[in-house]
Amino acid sequence: MISVNNISLNFSKQVLFDGISFLIRPNDRIGLVGNNGSGKTTLLKIILGTQEPDNGSIEKPSGLTIGYLPQQMKHVDNKSLFNEVKTAFGPLLKLQDKADYIGSLIENSSDFHSQEYLSLINELSDINTRLDMLGAAKMDEQIEKTLYGLGFVLEDMPRQTSHFSGGWRMRIELAKILLANPDILLLDEPTNHLDIESIQWLEQFLATYRGAVVLISHDRAFLDNVTKRTIEISLGKIYDYKVPYSKFTALRKERRQQQLAAYKNQQKEIADINRFIERFRYKNTKAVQVQSRIKYLDKLE
């Protein structure tokens, strides 16, 4: 679905990404992990398209929709909670407006046998069919279900969004992103400001979500309950594990032990080669072997 191709990026003289590549497939559940400052949020922005890498490319299918929940958000405070969240159904609302407009034209028409009248009837029928297919009748129900799941109550529905604190505004934005039903969700610390009940609801929602999910979270239990694949960013490289977080930590420990053992073996080999070079550097009979080891040493270093 999305192909990350040989991405490189330097930031403030630090190498964030050094030629990283991976695929995001439909229905993937990916946890993006790494130390603070390793580039997790930056990678989400590159996938989204709001930040450009120094080198490499992102390939996306035409028409792919992406929902992005950042850690910091901007809000427009001129709607009630319910109506603000309802904007997630933008295309559906436009279709409803069109149906209402055509309906008003039909009501005000007096020539019931004209071609124009019959065309309006047919067009309204087609639009209503599309509205039924898109689940317009259940839109309000979906909004309420999502808002209740994220901890809002009935009394909150008419309240202006400006009356909610920063943490609750994050829930409003999360509700809009989930209800928009994009092909891929990019979630940066989605459990921040959520209580246990809301986290559990979000886990259940994402478990049946039709699209792909890539998320950053410091909540290990949430990662385990949602993700099935873990991508670690470390020193500009990525390590892709087809397992959730807990299993990843065990495999990472094993990988690091192997890397340490390989490093120690390499250092021992370098020391042995250096001793050989120093011992036989000035012996003509060993000149070819010494030069061969010097070239090999250059490759290792």
**Same domain, yes or no: 155 and 58:** yes
Q: How many domains does the chain have?
A: 3
**Same domain, yes or no: 59 and 146:** yes
Q: Could you give the 3-state DSSP secondary structure of residue 185?
A: strand
pLDDT of amino acid 274 = 86
**Same domain, yes or no: 176 and 208:** yes
Enter the DSSP assignment of 272.
H
**Same domain, yes or no: 65 and 194:** yes
In angstroms, the CA 115 to CA 118 distance is 5
Mean pLDDT score, 190-209 = 95
**Same domain, yes or no: 166 and 272:** no
**Same domain, yes or no: 160 and 200:** yes
pLDDT of amino acid 61 = 93
Query: Which secondary structure element, helix H or strand E, spans residue 203, and what is its range?
Result: helix 196-207
3-class SS shares of the chain: helix, strand, coil, % to 5: 55, 20, 25
Specify if 256 maps to a domain: no
Specify if 277 maps to a domain: yes
Which one has a higher pLDDT value, 265 or 59? 59
Which one has a higher pLDDT value, 178 or 293? 178
Tell me how crowded residue 32 is: count the other CB atoms within 10 A of its CB.
Answer: 26
Only one residue has tokens 């990662």, namely: 223
Torsion sign, CA atoms 88, 4, 263, 274: negative
213 touches 28 (CB < 8 A): yes
Pairing of β 212-216 and β 184-188: parallel
Specify if 207 maps to a domain: yes
In angstroms, the CA 264 to CA 3 distance is 36
**Same domain, yes or no: 133 and 145:** no
**Same domain, yes or no: 148 and 225:** yes
Q: Residue 122 is part of which domain span?
A: 88-137
Which one has a higher pLDDT value, 87 or 75? 87
**Same domain, yes or no: 109 and 156:** no
Which one has a higher pLDDT value, 230 or 115? 230
**Same domain, yes or no: 229 and 179:** yes
Enter the DSSP assignment of 88.
G
CATH number reported for the structural domain that contains residue 9 in this entry: 3.40.50.300
pLDDT above 90 for 1: no
The pLDDT tens digits for 258-301 are 877 888 888 888 888 888 888 888 888 778 887 888 888 887 76
pTM metric for this prediction: 0.80
232 touches 239 (CB < 8 A): yes
**Same domain, yes or no: 132 and 168:** no
The pLDDT tens digits for 217-264 are 999 999 999 999 999 999 999 999 999 999 998 887 877 788 778 888
Specify if 197 maps to a domain: yes
Token pair, residue 204, equals: 């259940």
**Same domain, yes or no: 50 and 174:** yes
User: Can you give the C-alpha Rg of the chain in angstroms?
Assistant: 28
